[in-house]
Amino acid sequence: MLVLLGILIVVAGFVARINPLVVILVAAIATGVLAAVGPGVDARGLMTAGIDTISRFGQAFNDNRYFHITWLVLPVIGLLERAGLQERARDLVTRVKAATAGRLMLIYLLVRQSTSALGLTSLGGHPQMVRPLIAPMAEGAAESEFGPLTDKARFRIRGMAAGTDNVGLFFGEDIFIAIGSIVLIVGFLEQAGIRVEALHVSLWAIPTAMVAFLVHGARLLMFDRQVKKDMAVPDAADETEPKAGMGR
């Protein structure tokens, strides 16, 4: 039962809002060490168990390390933003009269979910697509419709843009048969004695993806109304400024 102490460490660490990476690392080491507790195990045995646990961390990192393409994309995105990428994206969408923040993100949801279903998960993302393009374009569309945005409306648009990317990726990638989550599901069920085909798991992900698209798509179609309500609430900084004719 001492092995379950690792779960208690995880819960306590999350409640205390400690860095999740540190919490998981401590919990894993504690679990590995406590697994060696038993009759005849002395302090030297516990130290050996701790060293073995840490060495397994190092071996796993060495076997699975890779240079992700994201680290090549980020400097490029930074240079483009410095050159005015967000401003150009915002100006471009303001020329389209039918564009609204909700409609634009609905189109992005469709594209993101469709490409993720084909295994092209790296075509979108928060650093590559949402921050430099989708969020500024949605803000530009809202400004074209409602005028200068309040901070509340601007932050709501940015949050919805990031959430739309998450929904499209999460419910789209499981349709692709060679994605890591499908392999994990099949492997876990096989260890439990339940044999399933990866293709069947992918097929059953299609109805879920369709429902997710309909639900979040409906939220996006009603999103412009929420932005309009936020525009009616002034920023806190504006409320504290004295109105004309009210000062001495």
pLDDT, one tens digit per residue, over 65-105 is 544 555 566 677 777 777 777 788 888 887 888 889 999 99
Q: Are 53 and 32 in contact (CB under 8 A)?
A: yes
SS3 65: coil
| Residue 159 pLDDT grade (very low, low, confident, very high; cuts 50, 70, 90) | very high
Q: Are 202 and 182 in contact (CB under 8 A)?
A: yes
pLDDT at residue number 236: 61
Q: Which helix (H) or strand (E) holds 17?
A: none
Among 72-76, 186-190, 197-201, which is the least confidently predicted range?
A: 72-76
Residue with tokens 């303001």: 94
pLDDT at residue number 46: 66
pLDDT at residue number 244: 46
Residue with tokens 């698209």: 213
Calculate mean pLDDT across residues 224-235: 84
Among 24-38, 107-121, 208-222, which is the least confidently predicted range?
A: 24-38
Burial-class residue 130 by CB neighbours within 10 Å (0-12, 13-18, 19+). Answer: buried
Q: What is the pTM of this model?
A: 0.65
Burial-class residue 239 by CB neighbours within 10 Å (0-12, 13-18, 19+). Answer: exposed
Calculate mean pLDDT across residues 177-199: 82
CA dist 125 and 132 (Å) reads 10
Sign of the alpha-carbon torsion through 143, 147, 153, 154? positive
Here the contacts of 195-201 (C-beta below 8 Å, separation 24 or greater) are 201/174
Q: How far are the Cα atoms of 94, 132, 139, 152 from residue 224, in angstroms, in the given order?
A: 15, 21, 11, 13
Q: Are 133 and 162 in contact (CB under 8 A)?
A: no
